[in-house]
A and B are shown apart, each in its own frame.
Chain A
Amino acid sequence: MWPHRTGRNACVTVLLAASLSGQVSYERIRQAGREPGQWLTYSGNYQGHRYSTLDQINAANVGRLKVAWMYQVNDPNKFEATPLVIDGVMYVSEPPSNVAALDLRTGRPLWRYERPLPAGVRPCCGFVNRGVAALDDQIFVGTLDAHLVALDARTGRVRWATEVADYRTAHSITVAPLAVRDKVVVGVAGGEFGVRGFVDAYDAKTGKRAWRFWTVPGPGEEGNETWAGDSWKNGAAATWVTGAYDPELNLVYWSTGNPGPDYNGDVRLGDNLYACTLLALDADTGQRRWHFQFTPHDVHDWEANQVPVLVDGAWQGQPRALIVTANRNAFYYVLDRRTGEFLLGTPYAKQTWAKGLDHRGRPIRLPNTEPTAQGTPLYPSLHGGTNWFSPSYSPKTSLFYVAVREEGTLFYKGPAEYKPGAGYTAGSVRGLPGVEPTGYVRALEVATGKQRWEFPLQSPPWAGLLSTAGGLVFGSANEGYFFALDDATGKPRWRFQTGSAVFSNPISYLSDGRQHIAVAAGHSLISFALE
């Protein structure tokens, strides 16, 4: 935030902040659907839907959507955060590892937490932060120097700060944490640097670690045999996108990244569990209930770090508790979320690496698709058919909306040599000559993965979607547009030029009884409402 005068303003703001409740119990988050005017957790609800039941803004009137206010962040790094809205206050993390609380009505800041970062932080892909979590009267943020920090929601003062991992060996936290019951679940980044990945849960009140699940099993642990020799030590499988939670099953669903080194699998022969995997972990103990690996022995950097979406649907005529995800490897999967059983998988984007999936969901690889010294052309690219940014599920249309990247890659294989803190990818990538990459917003039937419609984008997106009961899907483009599409047909209904590429996911909330849509675009947080 821009430096602004404190003094008199601070006094007023503390008074203002004191008059708002801002308490977000676990029960409130669990029943987030009852408070559509708030946005209490990263994906709007525990099920990962990123769907708003507000319908004041609809296909008929969205043409009148206008900017209500803007909030600018004085930092040039990508602004990837999803804001939370709780009782008249918006909480948003800012790059690199700061947090601001804004008055919802005016967009004016109430308080800011600024974290000084040491010189040696090494995030692979930008000094970014994807959002905060809220539980009771605290706001939680993960930092680039691999700490989890708890702030007082009213004042922004630090309650506790726990070191999660050592930033000097290239660990960092960019993920928005997930507040579950009495704990805060958080993952770690550093997959390009040969870390050993994990999912952690911390006691929300004290900051003490409650459990850790290593996503790369150690010697003697189940799955360790899927790593030749000592390769598990730098196995990566990082956990840098927020997961989902089923309160009834008490399962936290969290996905993992690629095995290291990225493009050279020779040193790590084997399936490399639990890289490129969706994990179902007991929320109290962190124990693994089940797992599903999308891309065994991945050599294309097809991390599974996408938000998994919980759907209560049907399978072959019977009600079934499903979990669905569009994976980076270009396949859309439907699994049983109780057992992890594979039900269905079908491509949603161009892919040239697999003939299909077998009955267990394991890919049937085509020959000559691995990286080589001369370069192997392949779809999808290393960035995948989609990436970290959020999909959206609309119970209204039963459609799964996903922002899709259609780009190919030449994969090059190099020697694998681990040096702590240095890149450990063993190869490189470049684009395909002569082919301009594009992108789409696609709508898939949630139970079958069949494409209902697509909306073309000029370039492969880096931003996610929000669907609403008003019949709209909101998304963003690299060329600066924030836009609304008809949720049934994909036809564009509205757009606004925000002036910078967008790297985030939108939300919706109520302010003064009026529906707003907000998105971080460029270095600004923009709030929109009907005039």
Chain B
Amino acid sequence: MKSTLAAVLCSGLCLAQNGERLFQGNCALCHGPRGDGGKGTNLAQPRLPRAPDDEALFRVIRQGIPGTEMPGTRHFSDDDIREVISFVRSLGQTTPPKVEGDAAHGAELYRGKGNCAACHTMGGRGGAMGPDLTEIGVRRSPGHIRTSIVDPEAWVPDNFLNYRWYSLIPDNFVQVRLVARGGQRLTGVRINEDPFSIQIRDAGDRVHSFWKTELAELHKDWGKSPMPSYRGVLTPGEIDDLVAYLVTLRGGS
């Protein structure tokens, strides 16, 4: 009752200020204090692909996005969510900073010198060792993307910030090294794991499924990334170009 009255008396600016407070407390950890992304999507853009209108944004905040790390907010009242929406929309009204670099050249680098498709998928094509990049321009801020290229281990996903009751398939690309009892050695990324088995993908994109009783050794290299750093492999200008290209990857229709 009190809060509804407050909402009525509250102007748009007021809603946004309350919303900012809630945002900083709940959203900023993943979306950045200025909402321009981090682990979570960059929200400082005029159009949010998963939330074309406020009704959709309400649903996203309330229910989360299944299959991703965006959680729902059981503890938010409806008014709370409306206030956050107000703030998020205000973020989209600022002009995003221009990204330096030549995106067309970046596309060439992606295919050529960078050889990114060996481990990354885009538009359903490419290697499956690393995360999909089809929407990377929407999901991560330019700064985050840049860091991933020069210092991949800085951003090895720490996917445990949000509680999910359980997860069907873990979405952190943990590097795994194992030795089977028969002597076979494998290094790869974990696809799935449970108390009794583990499935990994090797560098040839082949899937291997092991019962843990078949393994002599199993090491999970937390904090390690199979992705090499491109510092020194690409010039700073080339990295700018590659970042500029990746920022344009915003997914399909």
**A contact residues around B165 at 8 Å (CB):** 78, 462, 478, 501, 503
The smallest C-beta distance from A310 to any residue of chain B, in angstroms, reads: 30
Whether A434 pairs with B74 at a CB distance below 8 angstroms is no
- Docked-complex contact A481 and B194, CB < 8 angstroms: yes
A526 in contact (CB, < 8 A): no
B160 lies within 8 A of A436 (CB)? yes
A433 touches B158 (CB 8 A): yes
A433 touches B161 (CB 8 A): yes
Residues on A with C-beta less than 8 A from B222 are 434, 436
Q: Is the CB of B75 within 8 A of A423?
A: yes
Question: How far is B158's CA from A481's CA once the two chains are assembled, in angstroms?
Answer: 25
A428 in complex: contacting residue of B1, B75, B160, CB < 8 Å: B75
Shortest CB distance B106–A (Å)? 30
Q: Is A419 an interface residue (CB 8 A)?
A: yes
Is B194 a contact partner of A434 (Cβ separation < 8 A)?
no
Residues of B within 8 Å of A462, CB to CB, are: 165-166
- Would A457 and B26 count as touching, CB distance under 8 A? no
User: Could you tell me if A456 and B195 are in contact, using CB atoms closer than 8 angstroms?
Assistant: yes
Do B160 and A433 have beta carbons less than 8 Å apart? yes
Residue in A78, A192, A434, A459 whose beta carbon sits within 8 Å of that of B223 in the complex: A434
Cβ distance A230 to chain B, nearest Cβ, rounded Å: 16
CA–CA, A412 and B26, complex, Å:
9
Q: Contact check: which of A192, A434, A481 meets B196 at CB < 8 Å? A: A481
Asked if A192 and B75 sit within 8 Å, CB to CB, the answer is: yes
Return chain A residues, CB-CB under 8 Å to B2.
419
Report whether A434 and B158 are in contact in the complex, using a CB–CB cutoff of 8 Å: yes
B25 within 8 A of partner (CB)? yes
Given A192-B74, A423-B76, A432 and B160 contact (CB-CB distance below 8 Å): yes
What are the residues of chain B within 8 A of A483 when measuring CB–CB?
Answer: 195-196
Residues of chain B within 8 A of A495, CB atoms compared: 196
Per the 8 Å Cβ criterion, residues 118-167 of B in contact with A are 158, 160-163, 165-167
Q: Are A457 and B195 touching (Cβ within 8 A)?
A: yes
A381 to B223, CA, bound (A): 22
C-alpha spacing A431/B172, complex, angstroms:
15
The residues in A between 414 and 460 inclusive whose CB is less than 8 angstroms from any CB of B are 414, 417, 419, 422-423, 425, 428-437, 455-459
- The answer to whether A480 has its CB under 8 Å from any CB of chain B is yes
Complex-state Cα separation, A481 to B75, whole angstroms: 32
- Select A431's contact among B163, B192, B195, beta carbons within 8 Å: B163
Contact A430 B162, beta carbon cutoff 8 Å? yes
Q: Does B193 contact A (CB under 8 A)?
A: yes
Q: Which residues of B contact A430 (CB under 8 A)?
A: 29, 161-163
Asked whether A479 lies within 8 Å of B195 as measured between CB atoms, the reply is yes
Q: Is A492's CB within 8 Å of the partner chain B?
A: yes
Contact (Cβ within 8 A) A458 B193: yes
Contact, CB under 8 Å: B74 / A124: yes
Q: Please, which residue of chain B has its CB at the minimum distance from the CB of A477?
A: B195
- Shortest CB distance B213–A (Å): 9
**Closest chain A residue to B192, Cβ basis:** A479
B75, A425: Cβ atoms closer than 8 Å: yes
Count of A interface residues, CB-CB < 8 Å: 40
A414/B160 contact (C-beta < 8 A), A434-B223, A456-B195, A501-B166 known: no
- On chain A, the residues within 8 Å of B193 by CB distance are 458, 479
A144 to B161, CA, bound (A): 30
Q: Contacts A434-B222, A457-B195, A458-B193: A423 and B74 contacting too (C-beta < 8 A)?
A: yes
Structural contact, B166 and A459, CB atoms closer than 8 A: yes
Is residue B3 contacting chain A, with contact meaning CB distance below 8 A? Answer: yes
Q: Kindly provide the distance from the CB of A422 to the nearest chain B CB, expressed in whole angstroms.
A: 4
Q: Are A428 and B223 in contact (CB under 8 A)?
A: no
Given contacts A430-B163, A456-B195, A501-B165, contact A422 B77 (CB under 8 A): yes
A417 to chain B: closest residue by CB = B3
A431 to B158, CA, bound (A): 10
A427 smallest CB distance to B (angstroms): 8
- Contact for B160 among A78, A373, A437, CB less than 8 A: A437
* Contact indicator per residue, chain B 49-88, by CB within 8 Å of chain A (1) or not (0): 0000000000000000000000000111100000000000
A225 CB → nearest B CB, Å: 28
Q: Give B5 Cβ to nearest chain A Cβ, in Å.
A: 12
Are B194 and A429 in contact (CB-based, < 8 A)? Answer: no
Contacts of A429 in B (CB 8 A): 163
Contact check, A431 vs B160: say whether CB atoms are below 8 A apart.
yes
In whole angstroms, how far apart are the Cα atoms of A373 and B158 in the complex?
21
| B residues near A414, Cβ cutoff 8 Å | 25
A252-B223 Cα distance, complex, nearest whole Å: 50
Identify the interface centre among A78, A381, A430, A501: most chain B CB within 10 Å of its CB: A430
Inside 8 A of A455's CB, which chain B residues have their CB? 195
Contacts of A407 on B, CB cut-off 8 Å? Answer: 160
Which residues in B have their C-beta under 8 angstroms from that of A428? 25-26, 75
B125 to chain A, nearest CB (A): 30
- Chain B residue at minimum C-beta to C-beta distance from A492: B196
A480 to B196, alpha carbons, bound, how many Å?
A: 11
Contact (Cβ within 8 A) B77 A481: no
Contacts of B74-104 to chain A: CB distance below 8 A: 74-77
Most chain B CB neighbours (cut-off 10 Å) among A412, A458, A480: A458
* Complex: A423 Cα to B72 Cα, angstroms: 13
B198 to A, closest residue via Cβ? A458
B196: A residues at CB distance < 8 A: 481, 483, 492, 495
Which of B1, B26, B161, B195 is within 8 Å of A481, CB to CB?
A: B195
Which residues, 151 to 192 on B, are CB-close (under 8 Å) to A? 158, 160-163, 165-167, 172, 192
Note all chain B residues with C-beta closer than 8 A to A456: 195
Which residues of A (470-488) have their CB < 8 Å from a CB of B? 477-481, 483
Q: Which residue of A lies closest to B22 (CB)?
A: A414
Q: Which residues of A contact B192 (CB under 8 A)?
A: 479
> What's the Cα separation between A359 and B192 when bound, in Å?
46
Contacts of B3 in A (CB 8 A): 417, 419
With contacts A124-B74, A480-B194 known, is A431 near B161, CB below 8 A? yes
CB contacts (< 8 Å) of B160 on chain A: these are 407, 431-437
Please measure, in the bound complex, the distance between the C-alpha atom of A431 and the C-alpha atom of B159, giving whole angstroms.
Answer: 9
Contact B76 A478 (CB under 8 A): no
When distances are taken between beta carbons in the complex, the residues of chain A under 8 Å from B166 are 459, 462, 478-479, 501
Give Cα A436 to B1, complex, Å. Answer: 42
Shortest distance from the beta carbon of A301 to any chain B beta carbon, whole Å:
11
Interchain CA distance A459-B77 in the complex, whole Å: 30
Given contacts A428-B26, A458-B195, A423 and B77 within 8 Å (CB-CB): yes
Min C-beta distance of B76 to chain A, whole Å: 7
A431, B194: Cβ atoms under 8 Å?
A: no
A436 (CB) vs chain B CBs: closest residue: B160
- Pull 17 A–B residue pairs with CB atoms less than 8 Å apart, ordered by A: A192-B74, A192-B75, A412-B25, A422-B77, A423-B74, A428-B25, A428-B75, A430-B163, A433-B160, A435-B158, A458-B193, A477-B195, A478-B166, A479-B192, A479-B193, A479-B194, A481-B195
Q: Measuring CB to CB, which residues of chain B are less than 8 angstroms from any residue of chain A? A: 1-3, 25-26, 29, 74-77, 158, 160-163, 165-167, 172, 192-196, 222-223
Question: Can you add 9 more A-B contacts, CB < 8 Å, to A425-B75, A459-B166?
Answer: A78-B165, A417-B3, A423-B76, A428-B75, A431-B163, A437-B160, A457-B195, A462-B165, A479-B194
